[in-house]
Structure 1
Amino acid sequence: MKPLKIERIDTFAGHRGAIYALCQGHDSHVFFTAGSDGWVVAWDLQKPDVGKVIAQITGTIYAMVYDATSGILWVGQNFEGIHGILVEDQSRIFSIQIPHLAIYAMEIKHGHVWVGHQDGLITVIDQAAQVIKKRIKSGKSNIRSFCSLPHEEMAVGSSDGYIRIFSFDFSLKNAWLAHTKSIFALIFDASSASVASVGRDAYLNKWDLKGSKIGEGVPAHIYSINALVQSPCGRYFATGSMDKTIKIWEVESLKLLKVIDYARYGGHKNSINRLIWTSYQDLLVSASDDKNISVWKID
């Protein structure tokens, strides 16, 4: 395998606080960010550093997800509920009240929006009707991540270190202890029918869908791993950590291929909270506590 070449091609600035939420938009070159300042900002990789504030919400935003079928951005207002923002004209077309519950994770699957809260609570919302359909109790710890699986199943990662698999009827199908602390991100790798997981214990692990560990797992970072994404080609993972680094891994072997840091590549100066790996020129986008978004070209 040829060595990977890394180049930071842009830094987007404008947020007034840490960035905690990052998601892909309607086109591969469009993405959205949000965080502690309550701003929801749309960015275009074709127009560097020209962000557009499409919503201003009181409080911190930890999670949001874009519905490509309707053009609605679902935004979680912490301890308040969900707001639906029609991206085309920035109008707020609905609000779903979920008072007194933190919102840490969101995922859309088969007509439902899954919302993760504290204390093991999950709210399932009907995507079309925009009403609460189901409440699920998944352990006693905070729900920190979702991952869509085949056969209409959903993987859920929580602060007790467990991965739980729920069926299409919202019943618990399987559960296993995957990490010693919170699980912040999950990825389903279709090529191996496996789930990769990362979390506060700084390990990168792989599992089959029965809960058996694949390999030994990797002590991947010094501190908590907040983000995990897969390249469009499927061959690589990228992890982002509280230790201020991004690392690139081979999916099959979990071999470390590259470390992106401030000293060598002009990376982030603070914790990296979110990543997306876009299909637009295979650009990797990272968001950080340092209020900045960096764009990386990986050849």
Structure 2
Amino acid sequence: MIVTKIDTFGGHRDCVYALAPGTDPGTFFSAGGDGQVVRWQLGKPDQGELLAKVPASVYSVTLQPDTSLLWIGQNYDGVHLIDTLRKEAVGSLNITTSAIFALDFYKNDAFVALGDGVVVVIDTENRAVRRHLKASDQAARCLAINPVERELAVGYSDNSVRIFDLTTLDLNRVIPAHTNSVFALTYSPDYRYLLTGSRDAHLKVWDVEKGYALHQDIVAHLFTINRIAYSPDGRLIATGSMDKSVKLWDAETFRLLKVVDRARHAGHGTSVNSVCWLDNQTLLSASDDRTISVWNVQ
């Protein structure tokens, strides 16, 4: 495997926490501690387009499927909606005074993970709160949707993962997954596995079809795993960590294929907070060093 750094996007004035693919090929969004939400185009690192500026940190930005609406989770001030085509704010939902750590969608529902342990379920058509899921007193840090089994996985700072029914919103299962906060999780593209990453630096693979039995436990990083992302073709997994590295894994065997770091690849000098694939060869990584790196993976 050959990994080459092809660009660096600077412009943020604080840590970059969130990345999301854009509506057009080669575009993406970023947000961070400076409250800026920026749209970028590959190959044009000096031409970032400011879409929004909010007065607090942004930990999550996500495009609502089949729309041009970008949902922005602002620290301590709810959710803001930006029409990325018209480049203007179109709505705001003051649902919380807690930090918003993750946003995800299923059909007409939006799920918002909060620092007070609540997951807020929002009707996207009416933009109204439909339900509060309160299953822990500690922060809900990450979300993942399994449309096949109709399940919602939520990772918490109490070291556990909870599985909710997407139809009834009932709590189906509690998995004592890690020895520290669960900061990252994602389902495999075939929804056979759930992958979780934690402050304990372990990457764990859970077999969904076997009742979330532990399939593999990998000591993957030196410090917190902040994000896990599958490549679009499902062949590779990228993890980003507080240990300043991005690691690439074989999605079939979960074998480590490549370590992308500062010493070997002119990578980040501080925590890698997010990773995001734009296509099977283009991987983004965002860091506390205020930059976004673009990697070509062959």
Is TM (by shorter chain) over 0.5?
Answer: yes
Structure 1 position 80 matched with structure 2 position 77 = yes
Distance 1:154 1:45, change over 3 A: same
Q: 1:154 aligns with which of 152, 155, 159?
A: 152
Aligned 8 A contact 2:98 2:116 in 1:
no
Match of 1:131 in 2: 128
Q: Which moved more, 1:153-162 or 1:189-198?
A: 189-198
Q: Does 1:173 align with 2:176?
A: no
For the 8 Å contact 1:25–1:68, the answer to whether it is kept is: no
* Residue number in structure 1 paired with 2:103: 106
- Per-residue CA distance 1:161-217 (angstroms, 9 max, x = gap): 1111111221111111111111111111134601111111000110012121003x1
Aligned length: 294
Kindly indicate whether the alpha-carbon contact (under 8 Å) linking 1:230 and 1:277 is maintained by their aligned counterparts in 2. yes
**Once superposed, what is the RMSD of the aligned Cα atoms?**
1.3
1:107 deviates by 0.7
Greater shift in the superposed pair: 287-296 or 47-56 = 47-56
2:284 & 2:115 partners in 1: Cα distance?
Answer: 28
Match of 2:296 in 1: 297
User: Residue type matched to 2:84 in 1?
Assistant: V
Compute the displacement of 1:243 (Å): 0.7
Report how far residue 44 of structure 1 moved: 1.2
Q: Contact 1:77/1:103 (CA < 8 Å) preserved in 2?
A: yes
Q: State the partner residue of 1:200.
A: 199
Which of 28, 31, 48 is the matching residue for 1:31? Answer: 28
Distance 1:53 1:297, change over 3 A: same
Instruction: State whether residues 175 and 211 of structure 1, in contact with CA within 8 Å, keep that contact through their aligned partners in structure 2.
Output: no
Q: Scaled by the length of structure 1, what TM-score is found?
A: 0.95
How far, CA to CA, are the matches of 1:212 and 1:28 in structure 2? 38
Structure 1 residue 255 displacement after superposition: 1.0
SS in 2 for 1:214: strand
Q: How does 1:44-83 map to 2 (within 5 A)?
A: 44-83=41-80
**2:131 partner letter:** K
**Pairing of 1:107-122 with structure 2 (within 5 A):** 107-122=104-119
1:265 corresponds to: 265
CA offset digits 1:95-128 (Å, max 9, x no partner): 1112422111111111111001123211111111
1:252, distance to aligned residue in structure 2 (A): 2.2
- Paired with 1:190 and 1:296, the residues of 2 have a C-alpha distance of 22
Partner of 2:212: 211
Q: Residue 4 of structure 2: which of 3, 7, 13 is its match?
A: 7
C-alpha contact (below 8 Å) 1:11/1:49 kept by paired residues? no
Kindly report structure 1 stretches of 4+ aligned residues shifted beyond 3 Å.
46-49
Gapped regions of structure 2 (runs ≥ 5): none
Secondary structure (helix, strand or coil) at the match of 2:162 reads strand
Going from structure 1 to structure 2, the CA distance change for 1:104 and 1:192 (only over 3 Å counts) comes to closer
Residues 189-268 of structure 1 mapped to structure 2, 5 A cutoff: 189-191=188-190, 193-209=192-208, 210-215=211-216, 217-268=217-268
Greater Cα offset, 151-160 or 196-205: 151-160
What is the CA distance between 1:88 and its match in structure 2?
A: 0.9
Select between 93-102 and 32-41 the one with higher mean Cα deviation.
93-102
1:128-169 CA-partner distances (Å, limit 9, x unpaired): 111111111022210011011023221111111111111122
Give the TM-score taking structure 2 as reference length: 0.95
CA distance in 2, matches of 1:179, 1:28: 37
